[in-house]
């Protein structure tokens, strides 16, 4: 009889233990990463931080390639379905409560829109995310040197903050630095009007 009672007690304990385990918080939502990317609900700047929505955190990141500036998520497709909700807005990168830099969210491979400021770019064709120095690819444009000079200057402005971001990525074990094979991007006709963006530090 004692053996039956002991067996019953052990079974109940194992069942309760299993239930408690399923109630544990999901690390993808409440993880320990300090990297946070937010965007405003209605503005393209950080005018009201209280209305910012979290787009992703470092817990969603698999790795960041410093060389190519690619950000690989644990589920790129899941992030890609979320990003269009914020298309045309700025995405703001933080380490904890410290604001680092902003970049324009961009997801269209074929638009003639031009920006020479940093963009959080999603390549639909490759299913890859990057932080690029501008959009689109200006390699074959007649004024590419002038435009690239502007892009380099804008990236230089956020270099200290970018380095902080990379150091945090390293601290969280999500860093890599590998050259990748260049991908030929679709040709883009230069727009008649150049639209400036306010996507740097505010």
| Spans in the chain with pLDDT lower than 70 | 1-31, 41-50, 180-202
pTM: 0.71
pLDDT in tens, 80-106: 988 887 877 889 999 999 999 999 988
Contact call for residues 90 and 100 (beta carbons, < 8 A): no
> Residue 78: which residues within 8 A CB-CB, separation 6 or more?
none
37-59 pLDDT tens trace: 999 765 445 555 557 889 999 99
Q: What pLDDT is stored for residue 113 in this prediction?
A: 80
Domain range annotation of the chain: 31-176
* Nearest of 91, 76, 159 to residue 125 by alpha carbon: 76
Give the per-residue pLDDT at 103.
Answer: 92
């Amino acid at each position: 009889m004692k053996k039956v009672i002991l067996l019953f007690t052990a079974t109940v304990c194992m069942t309760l233990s299993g239930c408690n385990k399923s109630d544990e918080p999901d690390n993808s939502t409440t993880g320990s990463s300090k990297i946070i990317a937010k965007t405003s609900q209605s503005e393209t700047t950080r005018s009201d931080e209280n209305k910012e929505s979290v787009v992703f955190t470092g817990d969603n990141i698999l790795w960041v390639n410093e060389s190519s500036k690619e950000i690989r998520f644990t589920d790129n497709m899941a992030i890609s379905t979320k990003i269009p909700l914020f298309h045309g807005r700025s995405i703001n990168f933080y380490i904890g409560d410290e604001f680092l830099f902003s970049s324009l969210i961009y997801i269209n491979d074929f638009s003639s829109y031009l920006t020479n400021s940093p963009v959080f770019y999603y390549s639909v064709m490759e299913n890859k995310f990057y932080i690029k120095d501008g959009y689109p690819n200006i390699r074959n444009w007649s004024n590419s040197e002038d435009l690239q000079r502007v892009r380099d200057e804008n990236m230089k402005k956020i270099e200290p903050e970018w380095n902080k971001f990379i150091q945090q990525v390293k601290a969280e074990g999500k860093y890599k630095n590998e050259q990748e094979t260049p991908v030929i991007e679709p040709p883009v006709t230069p727009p008649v009007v150049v639209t400036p963006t306010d996507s740097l530090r505010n």
